Structure 1
Amino acid sequence: MKNANAPVAGATSRYQLISHGVDPQNGYGDLLDSIRSRLSLAGDLPGVTVEQQIRLLDELSACELGRFLLENRGLNAYWTHQLVTYRQGQASTDSVSDMEYRIFEKLPAVLATRERFGIFRQQLQALLKPGLVLASIPCGLMGELLLLDYDQQPDITLVGIDLDQHALNGALELARERGLADRLSLRCEDAWTSSLQGEIDVLTSNGLNIYEPDNNRVTALYRSFFDILKPGGTLVTSFLTPPPSLSAESPWNMAEIDQESLSLQQLLFVRIIEAKWSAFRTHAQTMAQLVDAGFADIRFINDRGCLFPTVVARKPF
């Protein structure tokens, strides 16, 4: 597979990013006014007044990550990378705002996705063998692959696919920092219609299915991944599980989840931001979708709270 030191220009204009993107018709001030109006009309929540909700909105708006979330209702490659590579205890309330501190240090979904990132890296590191081709879709900044140890694997090839040109640029920059740019090929393509066919040994994918509510579309995504892999290839992916308030089949381990932080998360992500990453699925649903797509030897690795499980599956020979 040909390596490239620059992202390939592609079809971003033909497809729509489902994870983030600002509405160009509205200014930021208008956006805040519309959220304040929506919160006021919705009224108080049990134990949380409208005034308290608007104060949280103002706190979000005062920090860079909060503003991005309010504008986009999702995360891009840069902010995802910042959240998953952040070291617990790195910040203090003296160095960042109280809102930023609570997002990075306390919110259960953030802690779960950071733990998921660590599980991905463990699984991927264990899969490394000489001569393999590894890919990430959507790649974002590609930290789950670019931060692995390749000292004993000099002939590994890396492929990143994303619709977001900014993500591809960021992946290239990180690859250069890691001394891996000469192994890297980047493609601006849609995950459902990738041009790769039977070329990848190990494929990793995180953060796309959680924005897609259509179960048939997610199964189609897994079929695309199946086609991309070589026979015997491995998929490492993940999914968001439903909270107990939405499903009796919720696997959440509430003993591992701080209730105060969970309540704050609900206020921020659901009530105020109206985050797009709300496509929850159970282990059984995910298993059925992967089996439908052709995968076998499917195993789950749960984070402590069981919010964001990792899945490892194999394409049969």
Structure 2
Amino acid sequence: MNPDHLQPDPASERLISHAAGPWQSNGELMQAARARLSAAGAMPGATVDQQLNLLDELFGFELGRFLLAHRGLNAWWTHHAVTWDPRTAAPMTALERRIVADLPATQATRERFGIFRRELQALLRPGVTMASVPCGLMGELLLLDYSAAPGARLVGVDLDQAALDAALVLGTERGLASQLTLRRQDAWAEQWQDKVDVLTSNGLNIYEPDDGRVTALYRSFHAALRPGGTLVTSFLTPPPTLSAQSPWKMSEIDPQALALQFVLFVRVIEVKWSAFRTHDQTRAQLEQAGFTDIRFVDDRASMFPTVVAHKPD
């Protein structure tokens, strides 16, 4: 697959996860980032020089350059992160390996992907229709075992055409292209003519700070499901520094990796995925959207929980 990492999507102004601003050369991007960090000054645990050194290291590998330019991950890089395997991984710089292998958020994301696949595998049955919004490369569905689910239909919806193209490649590799329908559409605007039995969604709500918009997204998912259908989604929980209701299990988190994550994501990269919600907030939003029988499945650190909810019969 060609990740097409640094090319802006034609609809980039509508992508909330990895849209870039006015296109800049690497030199212009580096100059702007160095000026921003120098002006911001030192922060707890990182001098200006240390921040600038991290910036230089990020520019040394493709994932780092993508994060700096886009402040989020596209479909290809997300798939790369959740399917990363140290036994087959290509050589990496020290910082790239720490980002992909060691940062608590990355570990939680990879664990969340495994939980999604386990929950979705259990929902497979003959003739089932399953959708992913936004689908990205659609690995949470395309990597399942369909041997016991003949006639299954798969639907992927994404605003990013590059994601849809890559999902088709993966679907073809998995022998599922004939069962796969892909549509380019905004998740909030999607009109579901044919209802689905299962809908899975990861990624949009963590970039969307507006609670009303997130509840509206859940209502859209509710409308897409047949009666008795199931939603499998996820959300980011707030760290203890932001909320007394934080569920983070600090005993499961490497403090040094967490400190590096804070400097990298909050200061050097200024990532966009910073819309945190508690379990109670997420439950309330899903209930407002009409879902019942809501069940949470936490990762070890309770940073990126999965939630399974049902549309009443």
TM-score bracket, shorter-length normalisation: over 0.9
Distance 2:89 2:75 in 1: 21
Matched, 1:116 2:112: yes
Amino acid at match of 2:301: G
Paired residue for 2:285, among 264, 289, 293? 289
Give the 3 Å change call, closer, same or farther, for CA 182–215 of structure 1 in structure 2.
Answer: same
Distance 1:133 1:304 in 2: 30
Distance 1:71 1:48 in 2: 22
Matched, 1:196 2:192: yes
Contact 2:137 2:170 in 1 (8 A): yes
**SS of equivalent residue, structure 2 residue 206:** helix
Structure number with the bigger relative contact order (C-alpha 8 A, sep ≥ 6) is 1
**SS of equivalent residue, structure 1 residue 210:** coil
Contact 1:15 1:190 in 2 (8 A): no
Paired residue for 2:219, among 197, 220, 223? 223
Distance 1:14 1:42 in 2: 28
Give the 3 Å change call, closer, same or farther, for CA 22–149 of structure 1 in structure 2.
Answer: same
Q: Which moved more, 1:76-85 or 1:195-204?
A: 195-204
**Could you tell me which residue of structure 1 aligns to residue 52 of structure 2?**
54
The aligned runs of 1:164-183 (5 Å cut-off) are 164-183=160-179
Contact 2:11 2:160 in 1 (8 A): no
Overall identity of the aligned pairs, in %: 63
Distance 2:231 2:296 in 1: 12
**Could you tell me which residue of structure 1 aligns to residue 4 of structure 2?**
none
Distance 1:87 1:271 in 2: 28
**SS of equivalent residue, structure 1 residue 217:** helix
**Could you tell me which residue of structure 2 aligns to residue 24 of structure 1?**
22
Distance 1:13 1:88 in 2: 34
Contact 1:91 1:101 in 2 (8 A): no
TM-score by length of 2: 0.94
Amino acid at match of 1:162: D
Q: How far is the alpha carbon of 1:33 from its aligned partner?
A: 1.1
The aligned runs of 1:107-256 (5 Å cut-off) are 107-197=103-193, 199-256=195-252
**SS of equivalent residue, structure 1 residue 160:** strand
Distance 1:49 1:82 in 2: 31
Contact 1:209 1:279 in 2 (8 A): yes
TM-score by length of 1: 0.93
Q: How far is the alpha carbon of 1:28 from its aligned partner?
A: 2.4
**Could you tell me which residue of structure 1 aligns to residue 81 of structure 2?**
83
User: CA-to-partner distance for each residue in 1:1-32, whole Å, 9 max, x for gaps?
Assistant: xxxxxxxxxxx749701001222343322221
Distance 2:210 2:69 in 1: 24
Amino acid at match of 1:127: L
Q: How far is the alpha carbon of 1:247 from its aligned partner?
A: 0.6
Paired residue for 1:72, among 66, 70, 89? 70
Paired residue for 1:34, among 29, 32, 35? 32
Contact 1:295 1:314 in 2 (8 A): yes
Distance 2:272 2:259 in 1: 18
Amino acid at match of 2:72: G
**SS of equivalent residue, structure 2 residue 115:** helix
Contact 1:132 1:157 in 2 (8 A): yes
Q: How far is the alpha carbon of 1:43 from its aligned partner?
A: 1.0
User: CA-to-partner distance for each residue in 1:230-278, whole Å, 9 max, x for gaps?
Assistant: 0100000000000001111100000000000000001111101000000
Q: How far is the alpha carbon of 1:198 from its aligned partner?
A: 5.8
Contact 2:41 2:48 in 1 (8 A): yes
**Could you tell me which residue of structure 1 aligns to residue 256 of structure 2?**
260
Q: How far is the alpha carbon of 1:38 from its aligned partner?
A: 1.2
Q: How far is the alpha carbon of 1:48 from its aligned partner?
A: 1.7
Distance 1:241 1:40 in 2: 30
- Structure 2 residues not aligned, in runs of 5+: 1-9
Q: How far is the alpha carbon of 1:88 from its aligned partner?
A: 4.5
**Could you tell me which residue of structure 2 aligns to residue 3 of structure 1?**
none
Amino acid at match of 1:304: R
Give the 3 Å change call, closer, same or farther, for CA 61–15 of structure 1 in structure 2.
Answer: closer
**Could you tell me which residue of structure 2 aligns to residue 4 of structure 1?**
none
Contact 1:130 1:155 in 2 (8 A): yes
Amino acid at match of 1:232: G
Contact 2:136 2:164 in 1 (8 A): yes
**SS of equivalent residue, structure 1 residue 120:** helix
- Structure 1 residues not aligned, in runs of 5+: 1-11
**Could you tell me which residue of structure 1 aligns to residue 6 of structure 2?**
none
Amino acid at match of 1:173: V
